[in-house]
Amino acid sequence: MANIITGCRILGSVFLLFIPVFSPTFYFFYLLTGVTDIMDGFVARRTNTVSELGSKLDTIADFSFIAVCLIKLLPILKIPVFLLVWIGAIAIIKVINVISGFIVKKKFVAVHSFLNKLTGAMLFAFPLSLLFVDLKYSGCVICVIATFAAIQEGYLIRNPLDIEIE
């Protein structure tokens, strides 16, 4: 059941590609994908169906949702250069983390830390926050959290502690 919910998030992300940004329909599917992100993990833990496949599907769903949002929002938003550079640096750290996971663990490693979850929540809230907060301010807050999350992720991949690493 949890994997079906995750699959719905992937489908919802695809639907977003064909919907005008900031329209009521866009917000509906945007919020729906966010709800499925919360639900799939909850259902998996509640029904004792947590699996490696589910974790990988969750990561694919997260990536597809973020990619679609970037495709839809980047052309519209006027992101300051300093934020673009910062986002690029975070992306490089995340790529290094993926490569490190393959080197250290010989498999894809997903770190489900509090900071990664907080970053995801902040990224999800970002388009909604644009109604109230200037992009450069909300972007800085998200980048600070995402930077710490990416650094922590790299540390945990290389030095696993009692944290959910799959």
> pLDDT tens across 78-112, in order?
999 999 999 999 999 999 999 998 888 888 787 87
pTM value is: 0.75
Final residue of a structural domain among 43, 76, 109: 76
Same-domain pairing of 51 and 67: yes
**Angle (CA) 115 147 59, round 5°:** 55
Q: How many CB atoms lie within 10 A of CB 4?
A: 11
Give the C-alpha separation, 66 to 45, whole Å. Answer: 24
- pLDDT under 50: residue ranges of the chain: none
Note whether 94 and 163 are same-domain residues. yes
Same domain, 45 and 55: yes
Q: What is the pLDDT of residue 164?
A: 53
Residues 98 and 68 in one domain: no
Domain that holds residue 9: 1-76
Which of 28, 54, 76 is the last residue before a domain boundary?
Answer: 76
Which residue pairs, CB below 8 angstroms and at least 24 apart, start in 152-157?
Answer: 152/111, 152/113, 152/115, 152/116, 153/94, 153/97, 153/111, 153/113, 153/115, 153/116, 154/93, 154/96, 154/97, 154/100, 156/111, 156/113, 157/97, 157/100, 157/101, 157/104, 157/105, 157/109, 157/111
Residue with tokens 């919907």: 19
Domain shared by 104 and 40, yes or no: no
Domains of the chain: total: 2
Burial (CB count <10 Å: 0-12, 13-18, 19+), residue 18 = exposed
User: Are 95 and 70 in a shared domain?
Assistant: no
DSSP state of 159: S
Q: What per-residue confidence (pLDDT) applies to 158?
A: 86
Place of tokens 């790529």: 95
> Do residues 70 and 142 share a domain?
no
Q: E strands of the chain, at which residues?
A: none
pLDDT score at 162: 54
Query: Do 47 and 89 fall within a single domain?
Result: no
Last residue of a domain, one of 27, 51, 76: 76
Same domain membership, residue 127 and residue 49:
no
Task: Give the phi and the psi of residue 17 in degrees, each rounded to 5.
Answer: -60, -30
